[in-house]
Amino acid sequence: MDDVLLGLTAVLQPQLLLFCLLGVTLGTLVGVMPGIGSLAAVSLLIPISFHVPPDAALILLAGVYYGTLYGGSTASILLNLPGSPSSAVACFDGYPMAKQGRAGLALSMTTIGSFVGAAAGIVLMIALAPTIAGIGLMMTAADYFALLVVGLVASLTLASGSKVKGLAMMLVGIMLGFVGTDSQTGQERFTFGSLYLADGINLVALSIGLFGLSEVIAGLTRGSVPVVPADLRLRSLLPTRSDLRRSVAPMGRGTALGAFVGALPGAGTNVASFMSYVVEKRVSKTPERFGKGALEGVVAPETSNNAAAQTAFIPTMTLGVPGDATMALLLGVLIMHGIQPGPTFVAEEPEMFWALIMSFWIGNLLLVVLNLPLIGVWVRILAVPRRVLMPTIVVLMCVGVYSINNSALDIVTMAFFGAIGYLLLRRGFEVAPLVLGFILGPLTEEYLRRALTLARGDVTAMVSRPSTAAILGVAAVLLVVTLARGARPRTRLPAGTGGAP
Amino acid sequence: MTPVPDIGTTGSTRTITAALPGALLGLLGALVVATALGTWFTGGGETTPGLVPLVTGLLLLGAGCAVAAGDIRSRPGADTAAAGPVAGEVTDVVVVIGSVLVFAAFVGGLGLLLTVPAVVYVLATRLDFRTGRGLAATMAGLLVLVVGAFVLGLRLPLPILPTVP
């Protein structure tokens, strides 16, 4: 209780409240724009975080992350183009609902479901985080190495297409993470004599290039999509008693599933929302309504992905093992700020940790206001012409990346990864595992080498401790199951989703 | 009329094209392995800086081969990998990347005042600005936004005016 009060006192400072509001507003703004998911949104706003205190930066970026999920469903419902990958499921039934003149109901129920899922996730985080951090303090370097391997392997579930391609991307990411000066020996690796590369590849330039710039190119090629006209007066947004009754059970199932999936290292919100949709369809007495405007098909996945978004912070903050690729990016940014998330973070920075958790309550309440009475504002943003939107995004990306080091080479790096990212997307490669590998690779290597040094080079020591052996066993099973499932033909989901995540 | 079987040169070309991404990944893996072996395995034992790159390179080599094999086996046109370029796609890529490179080349010397409009001008070649006034308004609006948010708001030391040599 003291911790909660500590966090509440900290987050109620005007400056942190302002950054919380800014984060969720920018998150909703970027989330509403089709195709720009939480990864791109967080990437785009990382430069700003370098010019504010670390606690404000953390609250800002976290707000952007879960704000994107709220905004993401708006584009899915009104355009049939997912605002974020995890909102792609909202296209299945949300768009048909919009075409039936029920857009207001779909939008309001996704917001209510999102809040319910997020609230449950926050309660779970408050309850579990200190315990998990306590367990984390008992873990050895070998255990951490094994846990990071689980995170890397589990990240393959992020790849929606070929799992082998996802594995290859993760390995490329790890390889890019080698570039720079080795922290233990001081030797340069893969720098080709370049002074610029001696510090390693700039994470911000890489992530903005891969997610932001490649999406701008895709948006330019895709062209404009007409918005479904929607009645967004308050009366049409209010659900009836029958709508609420029908949504209670899907919200409960979505919350439980999302909270569980989100807390697993490497799983993330995309998996949660897709799994939730499949579960709802299975338990429904009328599965034939799914894909044709079933309210449960919108509510459950949106509840699920928001619950997952909150519980994804549990492994990230308490163990330093990210719940998904966006969490990995957040982890990378915190490390750049000189903060190392993990069990010691909870003990050494209690004010920052609990302020973050309390900011989730405030942020989610603000998001309900932003996405219910103010939904009309965001819908109008969907109508902003591409000729204004595209240059704005490109210029903001350039200025943002340049502002970090005032380095033109960072911009060139961003351009390089933008082209690579687009090429990879066109060839059916997912870039999220690449970023996860890039961030987790160096950490994994560090723990491995530390464990080997402690064991005086004895590799068998890595599996002699039962906990390490068990975690590595889980990683091996997960890898085999993921690759085997990837080789099988996939279950068909409703067509016309405007692009799968 | 009996359809002509899709074999011969077309088939070979398609096979090579399909295998290319996987082959490149495999090659990248092989280069990492070679570099790791040649550069860092000259001593230093098991915690040498080459250990993890070596393992990663080997795995990438294997994954690249698997990707190539999978892409050759897959039905042509089954996914985006086999889909041809969309009309104007190459130009879109060149314009967007070009506009970013314009920013990189000019921001240090010309400042934001001239660089931001230059970036918008390059992008405008692929956007449907109906009037010159609309283009000018976008340039001016963006300049105000950038200077207001980054220079005045966040107090970042960004160059606004061109630097006199």
Q: Is B59 on the interface with A (CB under 8 A)?
A: yes
Phi, psi for residue B82 in degrees, rounded to 5? -95, -10
- What mean pLDDT, rounded, does chain B reach? 81
Whether residue A215 contacts residue A35, with contact meaning beta carbons closer than 8 Å, is answered with: yes
Alpha-carbon distance of A324 to A313, in angstroms, equals 9
Map out the domains of chain A as residue ranges. Answer: 2-487
Residue among A168, A172, A448 whose CB faces B52 most closely: A448
Inter-residue contact A10 to A358 (CB < 8 Å): yes
Neighbours of B69 (CB within 10 A): 14
pLDDT of residue B139: 93
DSSP three-state, residue B79: coil
CB A111 within 8 A of CB A94: no
User: CA A381, A382, A383, A386: dihedral to nearest 10 degrees?
Assistant: 100
Residue whose tokens read 């004599």: A193
User: Which has more pLDDT, A3 or B2?
Assistant: A3
Neighbours of B109 (CB within 10 A): 14
Q: According to the model, what pLDDT value does residue A281 have?
A: 86
If one counts every other C-beta atom within 10 angstroms of the C-beta of residue A292, the result is 14
Distance from CA of B7 to the nearest CA of A (A): 23
The SS3 call for residue A211 is helix
Q: How far is CA A482 from CA A154, A183, A213, in A?
A: 8, 33, 30
Q: Which of residues 427-466 of A touch B (CB under 8 A)?
A: 427-429, 441, 444-445, 448-449, 452-453, 457, 459
Q: What is the pLDDT of residue A228?
A: 65
Over range B152-161, report the average pLDDT.
84
Map residue B81 onto helix, strand or coil.
Answer: coil
Distance from A51 to chain B by nearest Cα, in Å? 7
What pLDDT, in 10s, does the model give residues A221-246?
776 666 666 666 777 778 888 888 98
Counting as low any pLDDT under 70, the low residues of chain A are 1, 34-36, 81-85, 157-160, 223-232, 265-268, 486-501
* ipTM value: 0.86
DSSP A431-482: SHHHHHHHHHHHHHHHHHHHHHHHTTT-TTHHHHSHHHHHHHHHHHHHHHHH
- The model's pTM is 0.79
CA–CA min distance A277, chain B (Å): 24
B51 at the A interface (CB within 8 A)?
A: yes
> Residue A258 belongs to what H/E stretch?
helix A241-263
What pLDDT does A76 receive? Answer: 81
pLDDT at A488: 61
Cα–Cα distances (Å) from A319 to A95, A265, A315, A323, A341, in that order, read 39, 10, 5, 10, 7
Which residue from B60, B101, B107 is facing A172, i.e. has the nearest CB? B60
DSSP H stretches of helix in A141-190: 141-154, 163-178
Q: Does A18 touch chain B (CB under 8 A)?
A: no
**A145-190 residue pLDDT tens:** 888 888 888 777 656 678 888 899 999 999 999 999 887 888 888 8
Q: In A, residues 370-409, which contact B (CB 8 Å cutoff)? A: 386-388, 390-392, 394-399, 402-403, 406, 408-409
- Mutate: best of A167, A178, A213, A395, partner B, most B CBs <10 A: A395
pLDDT at B40 over 70: no
Beta carbons of A411 and B103 less than 8 Å apart: yes
Q: Which of B25, B51, B119 sits opposite A394 (nearest CB)?
A: B119
Q: Which candidate, A396, A266, A402, A274, places its Cα nearest to that of A331? A: A266
* A233 burial type by CB count under 10 A (0-12 exposed, 13-18 middle, 19+ buried): exposed
pLDDT score, position A425: 85
